[in-house]
Structures are given as structure tokens and as C-alpha cells.
């Protein structure tokens, strides 16, 4: 039995340093899940308004833990 590597996708979640506004977290999430950057940023702002502490802590943790790659 042989394994065909062309079907193997090695995608990692990382900050987008090219399209960043604050630290690149929302851009990296949008790039990883193939979503529009504006939609992810708008969702983050809505979440920040509804749950400010939880969203702020999650964003800071993501900023510190996500690697920076383009």
C-alpha cells in the first residue's frame, strides 16, 4: 500500500504580517480558513463589544502564541 503525498495538506495557523492591522491575528485566521479578512475583523469587533474581557484576553493570547509567518 502506497501513500500519495499530494493529498496531504500541511496548513498551520500563523499571523499574517503582510495584511495586518494590529498584530495580524485576524488576517492569519482569515487566511487559514479561507475567509474574507474584513468579515473576520468585523466579527472580532462585534465579539469585543459583546464580550470585551474574554475577547481581549483571547486576542492577547493569540498574539503571543501564534507564530509570525507571511
Q: Does a structural domain hold residue 5?
A: no
Number of domains in the chain: 1
**Beta bridge partner(s), residue 68:** 15
Q: In this predicted model, what pLDDT tens digit does every residue of 19-68 receive, in sequence order?
A: 788 888 999 999 989 999 999 999 999 999 999 999 999 999 999 999 88
13 found inside a domain: no
Domain hosting 38: range is: 22-69
What does the chain come to in residues? 70
Return the pLDDT at 16. Answer: 83
Q: What is the pLDDT of residue 70?
A: 55
Pairing outcome for strands 68-69 and 15-16: parallel
Work out the pLDDT band at 2, boundaries 50, 70, 90.
Answer: low
Residue whose grid cell is 475567509: 35
Please state, in angstroms and rounded to a whole number, the distance separating the CA atoms of residues 54 and 23.
18
What pLDDT does 61 receive? 95
Q: What is the pLDDT of residue 38?
A: 94
- Report which of 58, 65, 33, 61 is spatially closest to residue 44, judged by C-alpha positions: 58
Amino acid at each position: 500500500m502506497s501513500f500519495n503525498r499530494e493529498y496531504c495538506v500541511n496548513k498551520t495557523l500563523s499571523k499574517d504580517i503582510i495584511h495586518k492591522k494590529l498584530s495580524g491575528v485576524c488576517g492569519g485566521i482569515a487566511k487559514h480558513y479561507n475567509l474574507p479578512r474584513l468579515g473576520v475583523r468585523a466579527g472580532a469587533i462585534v465579539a469585543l463589544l459583546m464580550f470585551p474581557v474574554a475577547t481581549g484576553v483571547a486576542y492577547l493570547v493569540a498574539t503571543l502564541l501564534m507564530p509570525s509567518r507571511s
